[in-house]
Every structure is written in C-alpha cells, then in structure tokens.
Structure 1
Amino acid sequence: MKNFYLLITICLGLTFNLQAQTNSSKFTVDFETFSLENGLKVILHQDTSDPVVAVALTAHVGSAREKEGRTGFAHLFEHLLFLESENLGKGGLDKLSARIGGSGANGSTSRDRTNYFQTVPKDALEKMIWAEADKLGFFINTVTEPVLAKEKQVVKNEKRQSVDNRPYGHTFYVVDKNLYPKGHPYNWQVIGSLEDLQNATLQDVKDFYNQWYVPNNVILTISGDFDKAQAREWVHKYFDEIKRGPDILKLEKQPVNLEKTKRLYHEDNFAKLPELTLTWPTVYSYHKDSFALEILATYLAKGKNAPLYKKIVEEEKLSGSVSMFNYTSELAGQLMLQVRAYEGKDLDSVKTAIDQAFKEFEKTGIPPKDLTRIKAGLETDFYNSISSVLGKGFQLAQYEIFANDPNFINKEITKLLAVTPEDVKRVYNTYIKDKNLVATSFVPKGQPELALKNSTKAEVVEEVIKENTEDNFDASKTATYKKTRSSFDRSKEPAYHGKPELESPDIWTANMPSGMKVMGITNNEVPLIRFSLEIKGGQMLEQVNKAGVSNLLAGLMTKGTASKTPAELEEAIEMLGASIRVNASEEKISISGNTLARNYSETMELVKEILLEPRWDENEFSLLKQQTLSDLQEQEGEPRSIARNQFKKLVFGSNILSFNQKGTQATVEQLTLEDLKKYYHENLSPMMATFLSVGAVTKKEAIQSLKSISANWAPKPVSFPDVPEFKAPAKSKIYFYNVPGAKQSELFFGAPALPATNEDFYPVEVMNYRLGGGGFASRLTQELREGKGYTYGIRSGFSEGTYKAPFFITSGVRTNITFEATKLIQDILKEYSKSFSAEDLEVTKSFMIKSNARKFETLTSKLRMLQDISAYGYSQDYIKEREKLVEELSVLEIQDLAKKYINPDKMYFLIVGDAESQLKKLEELGYGKPVLLNPED
C-alpha cells in the first residue's frame, strides 16, 4: 500500500463481483469494453447516482513476476509511480488530488497485480485520464538515485510497521517459505526483504517499467457519472500514442504438493499469546473447487455452529476465536486455519482439538441447512461490494485479469449455487484429510515449550537496528531529464468540465411515543438497508471500578435472547443474509447492521429480541470475559495499542475516559453478570435513543418496524456525570514506554483541544488539512515521509466527542531516528501558525469544497452523516453550511486557530520504543528528562 490511511481489503477467497447480464431480472451492472491498438484494455461502467467517477489503472504484475534477490520490487515500484511524472511534475497525483477534491491517489500490490486508483468529482475526469496516461507513458525519466533512495526508506518503514514491529508479523513469511519451494513465485512476500529493497538499483527500476508497465499489460477502468462517448475520446487522445510493449508470456498455474508435513516455531518478541497456523496447499483462483473450499472454511470455523468453534472455544476453552480462509491467487492457493490460544496453552492441545473437530465433521459433513445459511449471506456481500463506483471498477478489472472475462460472474454464481454437501465433503477429503501441511507455532519469547512437539526453529530474518546506517539523500533535488516526445503539449493540464452539484439527501425524522427519535434517508440504488440504534451512554456511564462493563454488555447482547440460544440467534440472522452487531464506545451503545431490503422487517424483529429480551447466558458471559482478558493481554505486546492506551491515560487522568474501553485486567476480572444487568436496566432508555436508517426503506416502513420496540421499551431518565474540562499540560514533557528490541518507535503526541459541538470544530479540521489531515497534501507527510523517509505514514487530527477531546499526531518511525523525527515534528508545529500561506488556503478550500461531491456516495457515508447530526446537533444541511464557511475563511483566521489549538510547548509527547538506544537523546528536545511509564515488576 502506498497510502497508510486507506485500507483496501483484498478478498482472500471467493468474492462476489459484477453481473453484466442485461436480460437478467436481478440487479445488474452494465459495462462495455474496448481495446486500443497498443493493447490497452478499457472497461467502462456508467453510474449516474452520484456526481463522482472512479479511475483505476491495473497492471498484471505483482511479486510473482519478480526475480529472487529483488523481492519486494513490484511493491516498491508501486510507490515510485506516485512521486512524479514528466507532465504532472513533482508530487504528481498527490498534488492534483488535493486540488480537485479526490479521494487521495492510492494503490496496492498483490502477488499477481498492482493497481492505482482514485475517486474524483465528475468534472475532473479528463484530468485523471491525462494523469494516468502520464504515469504509464511519461514516467520513467523522472526516477533518479535520490528519489529511489528515499522511497526505499519509506517502503522499509512500511515493512517494519506491518511486519517486523507487530505480533505474529512474520507468520506469512514462514508459511510461504515452507509451503512453496525455492524458485516458486509465491515463495517470497509481496513486501520483500529489507536487504533486497536496499539492493534495488536504478537500472532495476527502468527494466521493470519497460517490461511490465506497457499498455498491453494494463487495464483502465472508468466507473461512475460520465459521458461514455466523451470518455472514449479522451482515452484515445491520451493513451493512443503510448507504445505497445513486448508480448507478455502468460505464467502457467503452479499448484504445490507437500511431500511431508512441516512443523516450525518462532519465538515472537511482541506476542503475548501462542498462535497456531495450519496451511494446506489448495487451488488457484476460480478453480472449480474454490467455491466448495470457501464454503467449507466458513462452515468449519465461523460462528456458533462451526465444528472448530464448538470444540476449541466452547468445549475445550483453548481460545476465544478461530479463523479459517481459502487464500487463492492466480497461480496457486492455500487453505489456512489460525488459532490464537489463551495464555500458557500448549499448542499441541489446540492441534488435538482441531483433529477431533475434523473427525466429527467426517462423520456428519455439512448439514443442508448450514449450506443454505452460508449461501444466504453472499447476496448481501454482493450488494455491499458494489456500493461504490470504485468497488465496481476493482471487480471488473479483477475478472478481466484473472478470469479473462469481466462477465465471469454468471459462471461464478452458477458454480457457487451448485455446491452440494457432497462437494464440501469431497474437497475436505481432497485437500485436508490426512494431507501434508505446514504448521507454524508463534509463541511468546522464552516459551518455546508451547509450540507443537517436534517443531524446528523457523528461519526469520530480524533486523538489527543501528545508528547512522541508512543512505543519505536530498529529496528536494529536482530531476533533470529529456522529456518524452508527444504529438501535443501534455504539460498543459486539462480543464474542468461542468460543475458537480452537491445534492444533500433528503432526511426524514420522527418521534416515537417512548421518546426514541428516528431519522432516515431513503435510497433505492441497491436493495440494501443499513441501520443503527444509538443509545447515549457507553463508557461515559461506567464507574472507574467497573471499567469495561458496557463493552461486556454489548458483547453479551448478541449471545442469544430469552427465546433463542446463541446458536439459534446467530442462525436466524444469517438465514436472512443479515448482520447485527452491538458495540460500546465512549459515549454510546449501538445496535447496528445491514440487511436485504426484503428481509428488513424480520431483521428488526431480531433487533427487538436482542434489545428487549436478553438471555443473560452464564456460559457465554464466562467465555466473553475470558476473551476480553485475553484481548487486553494481547494489546500489552502491540506497540500501537500500548501507545493508544497510554496516551488516553495522559490526556484524561483519572476520568473513566482514560481507561481502555474494554477495561483493565483488574476491573474485568471482578465484573459479574449482575453488574451487566444493573448497567442495562439503569442506563438503556428510549429517551436516550435515536434510530437511524439509510437505504431502500421508507419513513413509514421504518416507523412500523419500531412500533413494537417503542411500545415495550419502558422510558426512564438517565443522568450523565459532569465531564471535567480536560486541560493541556502547563509545559510539554516526554513520556516513554519501553519495548525492548522495537524495530520502530510509535509516536503519539497531543493535548486536550475542544469538543465536536464547539463552533470552532470544523474550522480547526480545515486548519489541520495542510498540517496532517490531508494525507500527501500535508506538511507532516511531505517532510517526514517524502522529505526524509523517516516513516511510512503520519497524520494529525482532532478527536470527536461531546467532551473536550484531544488534538493528536501519530506515526511509526524508524527506531534510529526517533529523536530526529520528534524534533522535526516539533519544528513544524512551532512554525505552522506563522507559515500557513495563501497558497495553503487555496489548496485547502479547493479540496474541502470539491470533495463534497463524494460525501453521500455509499450507504455507509449516508449513515455516518446521520450519526454526526444525531450526536452533535448539526443541522440537516450542515454540509452546505460548512461549504460556505470554508469559502469565507481567511489566512489570518487559520493562523489564529493554529495558535489557539496547537501548542507544541503544552503537549504530551509519548513514545513507545526501545529505551536502551533512544531514551537518552530525547533529553535534547528541551522538555527535560523523559518519564518512563512501564509498570514496575
């Protein structure tokens, strides 16, 4: 990933995609394709529901096309392609994105493909086509030695953050090294090794680009509100003259067959709990057996009825959860089963329980009812996957590359629905029963006895952190190069076309007799409904000695009802293709979910049972309590979680908000079922509740679905404690939490600022855009990542709350520049109120106003809008009001806001890292001797 703010989920197994059948009576998505003479394949999908368009460039190249010794190169190249091109100039798509109100230029790399994507207001489509063509045909001359040196550091920081500095981060490295033989293209990781990244040369970059980034190996997808004839014209204009590359040889499928079972263990520096991972070789994407394997994995591990869950979690009480998934790629696949056991549990006991569950499955197979239940959820998944124009573009390109047909969905649905209980049993016998596998045991440091017996020590390359070992570079240096010839002047940025009109969705409201409020937006774009019953309270109503009680209550509410066992309730929800979740946060408890429109009434009947007819199951409470204690223990080894938890303590002091929302080991241990009942009866009231719904549901239908809930939910007043006026420290100080051997330092800086209800809240968000809220348009990112290569990502922001919530800056930085990174942040903060310029304001205004075109695209974004209105009292037309506010803001007003709310001399500077190598130097920041926060043994 190029951008750490946006997480793109790549489905590991079966995914529903797009149906392009125009004669189907079901929901359809029409598309058309054409190819240029140079081989570029173009897919167009028109969707006029929102004034936005998504443009994606997908190259059929990933880590599988690399050479050994140059691993991680496809991913490194993904980063490079954003930095500059001949006609966009330095900053490339990132600067363009900020000006045009885009979602942020981003990309991702997998084993077999790399994609680049962005959603923009529809008036900027020609600009995006121009920009994407510039990357494909007019890029390589801009890459210089300093550029390459800097981006190596960024990618290495990404590896440290996502792999080296995380519990269980090396699992896939160990699995793939032993599942795929040497020379197999899946033997190495997509992100590569630090050594290989460091050894990458400028010539490697040029060779890679010339071989793989050619039109005949790339797909361009355009999805959204645009004129197809005009889009075709622009595609021809900007892409036609890019030369075709050499023919690309198709890689043959390379499934693997293990000659023997391999058992390996690794003592993990960050892990607090032992984890067992079992991996069997299976099949490549879209193989005929992939559909049954996906259903098999779901049945065996997911939910109360799953054999593995029942045996491992409920009967043997070895773990709080089980995960199983079929991970398919273009050339091969692997079925993976993971169990993170409770503290001190021998993984041999976990393996024994797994074997017992398998034996039981061998006797019974999958019951037809469970097969029906699993299939029922897939229709909802399908509609969720196409709720954005970008998601549609992703899916079309995926099918084109890996199935050679974007219309493959017709065959896939047929194959999925045709899966029988016999098919599920057959793939189990073919790929799992008595088959060789790779078994990895990741255990806490110093506890190798917890690993599977007869395991050998895994080969894991651990980085040794040393001072002054990274290459020096000057990222500000402008590259000089001879521009690639073109038949027209490509340096001239295309104009906007039209002006997208922001149309705020109509919001309807109502009040129920019980005092419950109702708000909704009716939208029939897809036959789905998202809803959330928001009950004011949450952590805010807890006593300090009962910290975590609302979280436990939320967890228990979906574990059965008075008339349904936990398994029966889960089954009833899934048979509707629905999902219902209960979540506790700082200021509310929410019962939320989504469902097919046709099943809305039945889903709300289940919501009523969950809310008003709790089961209070003793066994489930005991299980949930153990899972929570295990989660808290796990967080103690994860540097990011440590930083988040310690920062709350500094900012909120002794207030309940200073606690982890799950509580502490001490408070959770002593919580009883009676504590949950007391909280439930005293604090859950319709007078404090608002029901929000968006999607294919009318006001009348929503009110009708709530009548029984309202009639049977007794109203009662709830008193809320006064929240203190949290204050910034009188003087900044450094706080340090020691994690010996940390590969990165986690930074968490900030201080109490203002509530979301304050009239300054949105103006300070505007002010923060150029500081650290605007991704690659922000100074923190430009100076720490792009200028120095210190980090993979950094951001700043203002937390939301009705109380005085904090301003924060958070980042993971290379351990050996902890001081330098902190000093640079300190300098940026000190200068920001003085240096914010008219140009900064122009870019900020352009983004803030133009990005509004994307505000209401998905049901999720519409629901979030209702949540903000409900929680903070915003007007229904607050988006338009904010647009006017932004237009009127001046440079001086922004500078005054920065002075008022960001003061680096009155801030908590929290660092989680390796104290032995980093602590002493931090005294040079001028904030005194750092305070060590680790609890005394």
Structure 2
Amino acid sequence: MIARSTARTLFASVAATALLSGIGAGAAQASEPAPAVAAAPAAETGTLIPQETWQLDNGLTVIFNIDRSDPVVAVALAAHVGSARETPGRTGFAHMFEHLFFLDSENLGPGGLDKMTARIGGSGANGFTSNDITVYLQTVPNDALEKMIWAEADKLGYFINTVTDAVLTKEKEVVKNEKRQSYDNQPYGFTWPVTAAALYPADHPYSWPVIGSMADLNAATLDDVKAFYRQWYTPDNAALVISGDFDPAQARVWVQKYFGEIARGQSVARPTPRPAVLSQTRRLMHEDNFAQLPELTLSWPGVERGNPDVAALDVLFRVLTDGKDAPLNQVLIDDRKLTSEVSAYSGNDLIAGNIQLSVRAFDGVDLDTVQSALDEGFARFEAQGADVPTVARIKTMMEAGFFGQLDSVLSKAQTLAFYDQAGGSADADLAAIRAVTPADVMRVYRRYVAGKAHIATSFVPKGKPELALEGSEIAVVAEEAIVAGAEPDVNQRADDKPYERTASSFDRTVEPASGPAPVLTPPALWTAAMANGLNVSGIVSTEVPLATFELSIEGGRLFDDPKTPGAASLLARMFDRGTATKTPAELENAFKALGATVAVSAGDERFSISGRTLDRNLAPTLALVEEMLLHPRWDPTELELAKAAALSDIQDQRSQPNAIAGRVFDLVEYGPGHILATSALGTEASVAALTMDDLKAFHATNLAPGLAHFRIVSPLDQTAVTQAVAGLGRDWAARDVAVPTWPTPATPETSRVYVYDVPGAKQSVLVFGGPALRRGDADYYPASVMNFRLGGGGFASRLTQQLREGQGYTYGVRSGFAGGERFGEFTLSSPVRSNVTLEASTLARDIMRDYGGTFTAEDLDVTRAAMSRSRARAFETAGAKLGVLANVGEIGLPADYLTREAAVIDGMTIDQIRTLADRYIDTDRMIYVVVGDAATQGPRLEGLGYGAPVMMNERLEAAER
C-alpha cells in the first residue's frame, strides 16, 4: 500500500537498527567542470558508513556517501521537526506537512514531483514522520541526481505559496484515512495512543501520537500551517543526504546552486531531555472492536537517545524474549502455554525513551494470568542472570541483522539522516553494543524494570472485559461515528490562482537536463545441478559480508488435503523446533552463534527455507539447515506448542480486515473443495486433527530434491557455494514426486458484490478482480506494463490520483497482476472511508472500465520512461537478486529475460495497451469484495449495478469449521 507517512514506531526501528553498515567505493563522471563552492570545510567521518559532511553558509548540512554498486542514488531531505515540536491544541502539524510537501511547489508545478518521479524512473517519492524528525526520500537512476536536488530545494524554499485552503482541506481527508487505516480499523490500533497519554504528562510532546488529533487538524487554518512551515522548514534546521553512485565534486556545485540562496531561519535549540516519570503503576483497558485475542502491553519509562544505557537496554530485551532459552518465553510459552510469542522493544528518542513488552494471549486467557506468568519469568531471570554466551550470541545476531538491512543506498541515506539528527555515529553505536556485558544487562534491568512503576494496557475482544487486568480503568478512546456526508467535498484545484513566486537569482522553472544515461548491467547468474537433482544458482554480490539464500521446494500447500488443510504450514512450524541430535534451544543457539537467521514457510505453490548468515559462516549454517530439513526432532511437546500457535494465528486472522478480504476473495475465486480456497493456516478443526504421523508422511513423501532449487546472493563464488551445499546434494535422497494438479479458476460469467460485515468498521476494505495470468505467460509482463498507469505506478497511477489525490477517499490504492507458476490473478485493493464505500467502489470500477479506451500517447510516454528507467533499481538488493534467480530457476523464464522485458517496454504501443486492458480487465466479469460495516454500507452497494450484495460471514465461517 502507498505510504507517505508512518506511525511513531517506523523511524524508531531505523534508529534501533542503525548500529553498523557496509559501503562500496568508486566515483561517477562529472557532466561539467566543478568550480569551487563556498561552503564549510568537509569532514570525512565514519568507517562503517563512509561519509563526507559539510555545510552551506545558510546552515544546511550536506552529507555524501559514495556507493558504486549500482548506477543509482538516494536523496534524503531531513527536517529536524517531528510531533515533539508541536503544542497541545496544534498536534499533527509535522505529519500534515509531510503530506503537503509532496504536492505542489512553485517551480515544479502542480503534482510536479510525482510526475517527474515517473519520468525519471524514481522509486516513488516517499517520507515519514517521527517524534523528532521528518524525512523525504527517493532513489533514482544516477543521471537524474541534479533533477532531484533541484526538486528538493524547490520544496524547502519555494513551496509554501502553493498551499491553499482547498489543498489543505483535501489533505486533511487523506490524513484521516491514514488514521482510520492505522488506528481505528486495526486490532490493537489504539494501544500506543492510550499508552502515551498515560506514560507522559499532557504537556509532554510525546504524549500524543505522531498523526495527532483529528480535532486539531480539523481546526488548523492556512495561517497556522504557514507559520509552522516558516518556523521549522529552514536550511539550518535540515540536512540533505545523498548516497550512491555520483561525483561528489559535481554534486557540491548543484547543491550550492539550488539550496545556497534559501534564507537561513531562526536558530533552533536541540530539545532538552525530559524523561517520563511515573509515581505508580496504572492499569488501563479497552474493549477492541476488531481484536479476537486479549493482549497485555507493559510500558516503562526508558532512556533518551545518547544515554549510555541505550545499548544495554537493547540487549536486555533480547535476553528476556529472544529464543527458547529466554526466561519469559520459557514461562509463558513452554511452561504455562499462554501465548506463542512475547515481544519487547526499547525505544530511544531525543527527549525521552520508552520500554514496551507485549503478550498477545491465546483465546480466552485472562490477562491476570499473563501478568502472573510475567512476574514468574522476571523472577527466573533475576535468579539465573544474563550469562556470557547468551549475550555474545545476541550481539552477533544484532551485527548480522544490521548488515542485512543496509543493502540499499536508500537505507544508508536514511541512516545517515538519523545520525545527523540524533547525534552519535554507526561506529559509536557498534562499539557500545560490543561493550555490553552481562553485568550491564542486569544493572539496567534493576534500574529501569524490576519493581518499577509502569503502564499496563489490556486490549480485549468486544464483550469480554473480564479478561482485562483486575483493577483496570476504562481507557479514553475517541471512536469516529459513521455518518454519510460528514466530510466536506474536496477539490484541490478549487481555488487555484496565480501566486507570487519567491525571488531567485536564476530561472528555477527550467528542469535540469539529465546526465549521461546509466550503464545497466544485469547481474551475472551461475547455475549448477547436484547429483540428487537439486538445482543450485547464485549471483555474486560483494556489497555486504552476508550470504542471503533460499531453499525452495515445489508444491507447498498444493500437497494439503482440503479436508484437513494446514499440514504444510504446521510442518513449516516444526522445522526450527530441534533436530534428532539438538534440542530446539540448541539448534537456535547454534544458528545465533553463526550470526544466522532462518525462516521456514509454506506458500501456495512452494515450501521454502530462507536465511541469511555472515558469508564466512555459510558452510556451517547450511549444515544446520540440512540437519533441520533431513532429521527433524518430531518432539510431541513442540507439536502441541506449534498447534497452539497456529490456532492463535487463525483466530487473530479474523481480526484483520485485510486478511478477511483476502480470505473471502480466495473462497469466491477458487470455489469449494479447492485447496487455495482454504486458509494456508488450515482451520481450527483441521489443525487439531493433524497428528505427528501426518506430518512425518508429508515430510517423507513430498519434499524431494528434484523439486528443489537452492539460490544464493553473497560475496562467495560458485565453487565456494557448491562446496557449502554439497551435503544437501549428497545426503538428501532422490525420489520421484508429482505435485498435485488443481484446476485453474474460471473468470466469473457476471460480476457480483460480496460483503463481509464488520460492525462499526471505520473503513471498508475493497478487493476487486479475478483469475488472471501466470508469471510465465507470454502476456504477463506486457500486462504489467499496461497496468502501470492504471494502478501499478504509485502516485503516477490514475487510481491514486483520483481516489486519493482527487477525492480524498483513501490513503492508498493499487492494482496489479500477481502470477505464480500455476495460478495468477488481477486485483485492485484499497481501504476507503466507510461513508463513501459506494462512491469509491463506483469510481474505482469506472476507472478500470474506461482505462483502455482513454489511454493516451502521454500515458504511454510516462509508462515507458518510468518502467525503463526504473530498471536501474531493479536488482539493487539481495532480495531483488533472489527474485531474478527464482524467475529463471522456478518459473522457467530465460536467463536473459530482463533484457527481453526491456524490449517489451520499448516496443509497447497504445493499441497493445488497449488490447491488453480489454482482454484482462473486464469490470463486468469480476469479483467485488467489500469488508466493512454492512448495516450502513451494504444496501448502498446495490448501486454498483450487480444486484444485491452476497453476505459472506456465514459462508466464510462455514468454510473455516
């Protein structure tokens, strides 16, 4: 889903992982001589993320990081303003500005940034707001760097005159939809707002969520918005970060030209730390309209960024909750069987920090029982303490995990922006982590957690208040009423009129020319075949010292019996629960000691074991994978724990409107009796009925090396990889296995509307579409090209421009083709505000219906430019490279398919687009699924013209018995 803003936790997660990083080297060609630039001296800093930092005379901090691995650059403009700079009664402004900043500017023109992004093949301009910072970022081919510098400067210095009352009114509606999507229409969505209001005093700037109060936003005037901009959006309160393949000398010239004459603002002092202080524990509860399971969250005051205890707290909560040996897991999961997971988090912002521990209990569990178990777990931890091997393993895992998150220039730019705002460096954070000792872990536990006052929030299913902690008070949660016509009609262009342009020493309306076209070289693939039929393929990538791999086995849940579905998924849960010679804890610790993470999953068509490890440890990591795959432990106790986790996930799935919409769509699309009409998790009855013998039979019969493909992206060459995988090629016995054949669903003869009722839902989730192309079909990629301008091109798509930007109906909408080896489908999906369910559905249907006939030459130009130029980003990350290997090794695409697809883009015509649209997007032969409040919206949906809606609650419930 399109996301141009975030709740408070997204950027915090960047901060938490910004501990170390790797980088490439090299230099790009300058397009013109680079004269001297009047600027503060550069400072070369950092060894983990090499950077050059300097300042313009107006105070703008500029950070360069050179990475020659791909012909792309990431540009991040960071304003040092977040929700903490707001005041009570005027909350949500920082986040609102993040939205407004992507709209018009004086010299790019209306929607100019989004239009330019499509033309230059950018990743899609995006951004996020946290308590302390707002960041705008994008990745583009490196020949468009000057364009991006020009565009970002226009936002910072030449933007505010384009904001009108009509623009502000429309964007308020978009923000409201984001709030509904992230808070109102999500199970447990109000946990953080309730917690923050209790953890901090009312005048503390962290006491309200980043998205702010809807009442405050509704009351905001144009003058308020302009005053906020002038106070905070100044060069001396911002940083520009550029990471990637570029010439730093030339980039200095461009930065000086476009940013240099923007006026300095008033000096802004760094916020003073103001930690939360609690005199006593407070218990709050809320009956959640969506939640199916009770959840307990405990929150303690933590420490601010820069506090010497940050690293020790990060390690502490991994010691408490990470793995079979973790004391809280031992008690709550293994001993008392109250939950399948205990999660914890230590957040550190500029002014204060918070510590959170959360348990989503099994169905019907009283949260007082959970609290009692947590007390027992803490007591066990106090008695046992933190030992040296555990702390060492955790630090190794933290190091490997961070490298894995920094394999793109965008993530590097984002991390550098964080350090500029927060202080410190990646090198310092790494040193702090490495220095943590078991004694430090115990010290911070006693100082911040043991016996300390905290906030305890109980979120329980509607109608089950008895599950909340004893003595809890009712939390204040403002829930929106569904009222037709409650929002104003919006028209962003309603008061368009000439505005006074901000003075400049040159004509800023002229878009800079592109630089030399980037040279794009698809990654070189190597392949090998083992004696038992196992296929192996790889791509050499030296960006980070990690090996990222996947063992994919054809079949997946196609082997499931539709009468007792869920065997493939349950088997996947069993694989990491020990081996014949290792207990679950011993297997887990063996992986951790190598810096390895491994995940097992059962998909629609494939069973996969994916992982990542330090490249030096690939061979021992794969030896553990082989042991896990070929010699499972088959522990009865672990099977019962796995079943309990599966049942919990099945119940939790019923609380997620998006998951419900997907389940209803699958049930209608595939029909009764088809394995893909069932949940991949199975049903409560089928999971309960599955036995160990069932899983052993599935394992022995269906997982064969001749159906398997091992693929890897790492610095290691073919020889090293094939040596590391030799055990799987030798010890995994070959056998003939045929994957069951399931019928391909037929396109509906007529369209019907299917409604699943979620009473009181503040949004309706729309999923429209039907069966379509498989990935290997000749028309699959051409159809994907066709869809770009419809709903695959982000803010360049018609669906986004009309449903979000034009009407304010939604926060995000997309359409696209998703094709596997055997099945494929086309879908349009969007959450829309409840009281315009019919209007949004009608508009979406009409845009699809009219698309082919209204496709223009301009649409074709935008599509070609965007899709051809974006190929510079097509295989930047390890995940993208694994995708290339999968398309060749599993789908059967030719090794040069990337080159062939480039030719498809270049050769596409308007007539071809129209033919493809008519052939694969037939709005009168579609499945229309709506998950929302049936009482207010169901009868209205007859207005779509497809008859009375079919109610799906009982039908879905019957299918899941």
Q: Which TM-score applies when normalising by structure 1?
A: 0.98
1:717 matches 2:720? no
Per the TM alignment, residue 411 of structure 1 is displaced from its structure 2 partner at its CA by: 2.6
Per the TM alignment, residue 21 of structure 1 is displaced from its structure 2 partner at its CA by: 14
Task: Specify which of 693, 708, 730 is matched with residue 689 of structure 1.
Answer: 708
Distance 1:35 1:591 in 2: 47
Measured against aligned partners, the alpha-carbon deviations of 1:252-311 in whole angstroms (never above 9, x if no partner) come to 100021011100111111111100000010101231011111111010011111000000
3-state SS of paired residue (1:791): coil
1:816 matches 2:809? no
The answer to whether the 8 A contact 1:16-1:381 is kept is no
Distance 2:6 2:821 in 1: 26
Measured against aligned partners, the alpha-carbon deviations of 1:411-451 in whole angstroms (never above 9, x if no partner) come to 32222222111111111111111110000000111111111
Distance 1:183 1:24 in 2: 40
1:94 matches 2:97? no
Per the TM alignment, residue 51 of structure 1 is displaced from its structure 2 partner at its CA by: 0.3
1:852 matches 2:871? yes
2:38 maps to none
The answer to whether the 8 A contact 2:23-2:544 is kept is no
Alignment of 1:875-890 (within 5 A): 875-890=894-909
Paired residue type of 1:646: V
Task: Specify which of 810, 815, 819 is matched with residue 791 of structure 1.
Answer: 810
Say which is worse superposed, 16-25 or 895-904, in terms of deviation.
16-25
1:760 maps to 779
Task: Specify which of 520, 525, 528 is matched with residue 502 of structure 1.
Answer: 520
The answer to whether the 8 A contact 2:941-2:949 is kept is yes
Task: Specify which of 617, 628, 635 is matched with residue 646 of structure 2.
Answer: 628
1:349 matches 2:352? no
1:114 matches 2:134? yes
The answer to whether the 8 A contact 2:599-2:609 is kept is yes
1:800 maps to 819
Measured against aligned partners, the alpha-carbon deviations of 1:183-241 in whole angstroms (never above 9, x if no partner) come to 00000000112212211211111011100000000000001000010000000000011
The answer to whether the 8 A contact 2:799-2:813 is kept is yes
Per the TM alignment, residue 364 of structure 1 is displaced from its structure 2 partner at its CA by: 1.8
Give the unaligned 5+ runs of structure 1.
Answer: none
Paired residue type of 1:499: A
Distance 1:806 1:542 in 2: 21
2:19 maps to 16
3-state SS of paired residue (1:435): coil
The answer to whether the 8 A contact 1:2-1:78 is kept is no
Per the TM alignment, residue 329 of structure 1 is displaced from its structure 2 partner at its CA by: 0.8
Task: Specify which of 252, 264, 267 is matched with residue 244 of structure 1.
Answer: 264
3-state SS of paired residue (2:151): helix
Q: Which TM-score applies when normalising by structure 2?
A: 0.95
Per the TM alignment, residue 737 of structure 1 is displaced from its structure 2 partner at its CA by: 0.5
1:336 maps to 356
2:28 maps to none
Alignment of 1:822-833 (within 5 A): 822-833=841-852
1:38 maps to 58
1:742 maps to 761
Task: Specify which of 135, 147, 150 is matched with residue 170 of structure 2.
Answer: 150
Cα distance 1:66–1:596, how it changes in 2: closer, same or farther (>3 A)? same
2:580 maps to 562
Give the unaligned 5+ runs of structure 2.
Answer: 26-42
Task: Specify which of 645, 661, 682 is matched with residue 643 of structure 1.
Answer: 661
1:417 matches 2:464? no
Paired residue type of 1:471: P
Cα distance 1:4–1:272, how it changes in 2: closer, same or farther (>3 A)? farther
Task: Specify which of 361, 365, 377 is matched with residue 385 of structure 2.
Answer: 365
2:39 maps to none
3-state SS of paired residue (1:241): coil
Distance 1:5 1:412 in 2: 27
Per the TM alignment, residue 6 of structure 1 is displaced from its structure 2 partner at its CA by: 10
The answer to whether the 8 A contact 1:560-1:567 is kept is yes
Cα distance 1:26–1:712, how it changes in 2: closer, same or farther (>3 A)? farther
Distance 2:149 2:795 in 1: 20
3-state SS of paired residue (1:320): strand
Paired residue type of 2:711: L
Cα distance 1:803–1:6, how it changes in 2: closer, same or farther (>3 A)? farther
3-state SS of paired residue (2:803): helix
Measured against aligned partners, the alpha-carbon deviations of 1:516-566 in whole angstroms (never above 9, x if no partner) come to 111111122221111111110101121101311111111111110111000
Task: Specify which of 65, 68, 78 is matched with residue 48 of structure 1.
Answer: 68
Paired residue type of 1:829: M
3-state SS of paired residue (2:340): coil
Paired residue type of 2:813: I
Paired residue type of 1:386: L
The answer to whether the 8 A contact 1:142-1:480 is kept is no
Paired residue type of 2:778: E
Cα distance 1:110–1:637, how it changes in 2: closer, same or farther (>3 A)? same
1:459 matches 2:472? no
Cα distance 1:114–1:9, how it changes in 2: closer, same or farther (>3 A)? closer
Measured against aligned partners, the alpha-carbon deviations of 1:639-685 in whole angstroms (never above 9, x if no partner) come to 11110111111111121011111112222121111111111111100
The answer to whether the 8 A contact 1:2-1:107 is kept is no
Say which is worse superposed, 592-601 or 660-669, in terms of deviation.
660-669
Report how many residues are paired. Answer: 934
Distance 2:2 2:831 in 1: 15
Per the TM alignment, residue 13 of structure 1 is displaced from its structure 2 partner at its CA by: 3.5
1:492 matches 2:510? yes
The answer to whether the 8 A contact 1:5-1:775 is kept is no
Paired residue type of 1:591: I
Distance 1:19 1:534 in 2: 28
Paired residue type of 2:412: K
Distance 2:884 2:366 in 1: 48
1:615 maps to 633
Distance 2:23 2:443 in 1: 31
Per the TM alignment, residue 18 of structure 1 is displaced from its structure 2 partner at its CA by: 4.5
| Identity of matched residues, % | 49
The answer to whether the 8 A contact 1:143-1:479 is kept is no
2:571 maps to 553
The answer to whether the 8 A contact 2:551-2:711 is kept is yes
Cα distance 1:24–1:895, how it changes in 2: closer, same or farther (>3 A)? closer
The answer to whether the 8 A contact 2:24-2:67 is kept is no
Paired residue type of 2:103: L
1:439 maps to 456
The answer to whether the 8 A contact 2:309-2:444 is kept is yes
3-state SS of paired residue (1:646): helix
Say which is worse superposed, 595-604 or 415-424, in terms of deviation.
415-424
1:874 maps to 893
Cα distance 1:9–1:627, how it changes in 2: closer, same or farther (>3 A)? farther
Distance 2:549 2:849 in 1: 44
Supply the RMSD in Å over aligned alpha carbons.
1.8
1:430 matches 2:450? no
Distance 2:444 2:821 in 1: 53
Cα distance 1:25–1:794, how it changes in 2: closer, same or farther (>3 A)? closer
The answer to whether the 8 A contact 1:56-1:394 is kept is yes
1:474 matches 2:474? no
The answer to whether the 8 A contact 1:31-1:45 is kept is yes
Paired residue type of 2:752: K
1:382 matches 2:402? yes
Paired residue type of 1:492: V
